Structure formats: structure tokens, C-alpha cells
Chain A
Amino acid sequence: MSDAAVHDDHHDHKPTGIGRWLFSTNHKDIGTMYLIFALTMFFVGGAMAMVIRAELFQPGLQFVNPQFFNSMTTVHALVMIFGALMPAGVGLANWMIPLMIGAPDMAMPRMNNMSFWLLPFSFTLLLSTFFMEGGAPAGGWTMYPPLVFQLGDGFPFLIFAVHLLGISSIMGAINIIATVFNMRAPGMTFMRLPLFVWTWIITAFLLIAAMPVLAGGVTMLLTDKFFGTAFFDAAGGGDPLLFQHVFWFFGHPEVYILVLPSFGIISQIIPTFARKPLFGYSSMVYATASIAFLSFFVWAHHMFAVGMPLAGELFFMYATMMIAVPTGVKIFNWTATMWKGSMTFETPMLFAIGVLFMFSIGGFSGVMMGITPVDFQYHDTYFIVAHFHYVIVPGIIFGIIGGIYYWLPKWTGHMYDETLGKWHFWLSTISVNVLFFPMHFIGLAGMPRRIPDYSTQFADWNAIISIGGIVFGLSQLIMVWVVIKCIRGGEKATDEVWEGAHGLEFTLPSPPPFHSFTTPPEVTEASAHS
């Protein structure tokens, strides 16, 4: 433990009471609030997924009417993407970036507080639409016009909620950029930054470029609905397809906004448990930047079926294929890091390897869909649902969960229950494949997405999928119990936590003091990449 790390212990006083959380400017407290909020939203969105799977357990209409079913699919996506995954990533960034770069806190702590507290208000607006005339949004999370205009009183609430989310994300991104650019410890050059920090800088720039585009799109929806404009109204000289272009210009980079931090997390975990430095550090940085750059040139692969000129189809098809190259570099580097390593398989490593295998499944089906002629076959089927859930659940959520297990002893000062962690991993892994893999089969056989009823030929697989969904949902309660147990006590964690762990965060005590790195540590080449 460095002297700098524990400098000024007598200043390590914490505010108390509700004010500690309401007015917090401490990156660890704000990170904790983000993570608790994300976990809450994960279960809210998960409950909606349970309604969907209960309805689809067998053909016919069982529990909910079609309108409510459509609200479930729509709000499930909005809650999971904007309420669970993004806040979880920002929570981990808040907790870990200052510790990893040797900074005392985030660059703008008050703005950090505001970024967080916009989220509960935004989701209150969104979820309140369930109690309004016309119900909750039901036209899909993509909010395509003219369908989205069928939404009743909830429409302006949806638009305002999305605006607030965008403002929150942009403020968070500004904070991360300023923190990493200005507050690195002496010797912490850019090419010595931990990969998790690198993935977050790139993600922050993606947020700055992509979120305003979404905000612009939904502003135009708002003015079309209430102020007589015709951006997307063909009768007024507008074009409904314009919204799809605008939305996916945001939407595809959004996928990488979600997945890059997960890549960063497993880039921290794999070297620790392989007991080897990350293979190809520089190429990892360049591959991450390349993925982010290319993500702005592939948006129309989400809308091949609308019809576009052949040149456009070819451009977007080849650009989509190109993303497989830097992604392949990353997969290769993670594999090469493990090659001949002294590997052990603690829970974070299991989740990281899970990401490696199962994100690849989602990646391969993504390449399949990027091929324009065959995309017409897959479009709007369960094959698409299978693809993006493989990317999001075992690709992103497993990465976040791996990060939580990896850093939990550092945060709490206690080791978590390894046996329960492994139960969580194996139950999640088996059930997630039972849940999503058969969706490929029923999708290829022609089952459409976003429909509450289906042909009886799909009945068997749907029953199996629903069972997988219920087991996956219940498995996540194990994680909640592990976290609560770890906070309450357990074997004391060392400062290093893991035998093979490196990085400034592991020079601090476990748990770190409320104010850490008030005197910046010195970083050398050897300490950065050891």
C-alpha cells in the first residue's frame, strides 16, 4: 500500500445521513448509487421480460392484451438499455477510473451528482406512462414514426425522458473526458492507461457524438406531433424513413457505447487470472478506436429491408463486415493472453470467458445479418432477437457482472462467497443459452418478433425458451445475495485482492479510503504494464 494512497486518513470523514447520497460529490458514492439504480432497473426490465415470456409460453393469448404486450417489449428495451446497462457502465467508470489513474475524484463532482440524479426523474417520467390515457410506449424502443404518434398522453413524457437521459449521459461523458485528460497521476501516459479507462474514453466520445443525434431525432418527433412541422410526415413533404436513418446513426454507436466498457472490464480480468500481461496492449487500444470509428458508418444495416440503392446496400454491407476485423483482433488478444498462462477460474474469470465465447456467437450472427441479401430473410424475426440478446446479455451483462465480482472485494473489503459466485455463473450460462439459442431456430423458421401470439409449430421451443428465461431471472437473485453477504462481512480482502492483479486501484487499501489519492502516486513503465 503506498503512502500516497492513505495520505490524510484524518481527512477520511464521511458525510452522514441522506445528505451523503443526495448531495454526494464523491465518485465512490455516486458510483454506488449508479450501480444500485442499474440493478433496480435490471430487475424492473427483467420483470417485463418475465411477462413477455409468460405470455409466449404457449400459443394464444394468456395473460395480457396485445397492446400491453407491445408496451412490455418496448419499455423492457428502454429500461434495460438506458436504465440498467448504461448506468451500470457509468457506475463502474465512476468507481474505478479515478482509482485507476491515480486521481482524487472525478473532474467535476457536482456535475457528476447531477448526471446521476437526472436518471430517477427520467425513469419516473417514463414508467408513469403506464398509468396514463393511451398507456405506455408500445411502438418499439426505436420510436419509429408514424407508429409512435399512436401513443396517447405518454408521448411527451417519453420524449422528455429520452432528453433527460441524453443530458445525463453527455454530462457523464464530459466528466470522464475531463478526468482522464487532466487528472492522470504523474507518469500515467495515455499508452499506460488501463484498458478499462481507454474503453471508457472512447465510449465517452461516442456518447458525445451519438446522444445529440438521438436528442435531435426525438425533438423532431415532438415538433411533428405538437408544433406542425413535417420532418417525418410524407403528406407535409417529410420522410418517415429519415427518422430511421437518424435513429440508427445514434443506435449503432449505442451498441458500442454499451459493449466497449464490457470489453474494457474483461481486458482487466483476463490478465489477472491468466497471470500474464495483456497481449497486444497497443493493438487493443487501436482496435477499440477502430470499432468506435467504424460504428458511425454501418447504421443502415439495421434497415436494409426498407429498400435502398444497390450501392448503399453494398457500402453498408462491407462496412459492417469490416467491424469484424478489429473485433477479431480483440478476441485474438484475449485468447493469446490466456495462452500458456497460469490460469485459475474464479468467478470474474468465468464470466470473462463467458463473454469471450458467447459474445462471439452474437458477433457471428451479426456478420450473418450484415449480408444484405440474407438479411431480408432474417429481418424482424426471432433470429434478430437471438442475435442482439447474445450481444447484450452474455456479451455486456456478463462483462458487467464479471467486473462487479472482480472489484467487489476492493469496494467492500471482504471476499465474496466464491461457491455462490460459481453457482451464479453456471446457472446463468446454462439458462442464458436455453433462453436465447433456440430463438435462432424459430427465427429462421419464420417466427416474427414483437407478436404476442404465434403459430403452433413454434410452441415447443417457446416453452423451452420461457423456462430458460425464468431460470436466468431467478439466478440473478444469487448475485444480489452474494453482494449483500459481501457488504455485511466475510473473509478480509487484501489490498491486492487477487494474486495476479496489477494497477493503481490495487495499491489502495480494501476498501479504499473515502478520499483516495489526495497525493498523486508516481507511475512507471514497469508498474503500468506489469
Chain B
Amino acid sequence: MSNNDKTAAEKELAAKNMRIAIIVGVAAFGFYAAIVLTYMK
């Protein structure tokens, strides 16, 4: 299905899913960076 074929509700759901993915993904990367940077001398 191309993006143009999606209904407004589907687009809204896709945006909500993407928002969660970005928030959780950034949190995960943040933990990773924090653990390395904390102990970097």
C-alpha cells in the first residue's frame, strides 16, 4: 500500500507508532551512551 492509499486514521496510527519507536529508541541509545560516557576518563 502506498502512502497515498492510507486513510487518515492509518496515517495517524503510523505517526503514533513512529513517535513511540523514536522515544523508546532514543532512550535505549541514551542508556548505551550513558554507560560508556560515565566511565570514560
Contact = CB atoms under 8 A, between A and B. Distances in A.
B41 A174 contact: no
B16 interface: yes
Contacts of B32: 212-213, 215-216, 219
B36 A219 contact: yes
B24 to A, nearest CB: 5
A220 B36 contact: yes
Contacts, number: 63
Contacts of A183: 13, 17
Interface in B1-41: 13, 16-17, 20-21, 24-25, 27-36, 39-41
B35 A174 contact: no
A359 B27 CA distance: 33
Interface string A212-242: 1101110110000000011100000100001
B28 A208 contact: yes
Contacts of A108: 17, 21
A212 B28 contact: yes
Contacts of B24: 173-174, 177-178, 208
A174 B39 contact: no
A213 B31 CA distance: 7
A229 B41 CA distance: 9
A208 B39 contact: no
A181 B35 contact: no
B17 A182 contact: yes
Interface string A149-187: 000000000000000000000100111011001110000
A191 to B, nearest CB: 20
Contacts of A246: 35
Contact of B28 (A170, A175, A178, A181): A170
A216 B35 contact: yes
A202 B23 CA distance: 17
Nearest to A107: B17
Contacts of A107: 17, 20-21
A178 B16 CA distance: 8
Given A107-B17, A177-B20, A182-B13, A213 B39 contact: no
Contacts of B39: 220, 231, 242
A412 B40 CA distance: 53
A209 interface: yes
B21 A174 contact: yes
B36 to A, nearest CB: 5
Interface in A401-428: none
B35 A237 contact: no
Given A216-B36, A220-B39, A181 B20 contact: yes
A237 B27 contact: no
A211 interface: yes
A178 B17 contact: yes
A417 B32 CA distance: 47
Given A182-B16, A216-B36, A237 B41 contact: yes
A213 B20 contact: no
A108 B19 CA distance: 12
A178 B36 contact: no
Contacts of B21: 107-108, 111, 174-175, 178
A182 B25 contact: no
Contact of B35 (A177, A208, A217, A230): A217
A212 B31 contact: yes
B16 A216 contact: no
Nearest to A169: B28
Contacts of A219: 32, 36
A181 B36 CA distance: 31
Given A173-B24, A237-B41, A212 B17 contact: no
Nearest to A182: B16
Q: Which 4 A-B pairs have the closest CB atoms?
A: A216-B35, A212-B32, A212-B31, A107-B17
Interface of B: 13, 16-17, 20-21, 24-25, 27-36, 39-41
9 contacts: A108-B17, A177-B24, A178-B21, A208-B31, A209-B31, A211-B28, A212-B31, A216-B36, A217-B35
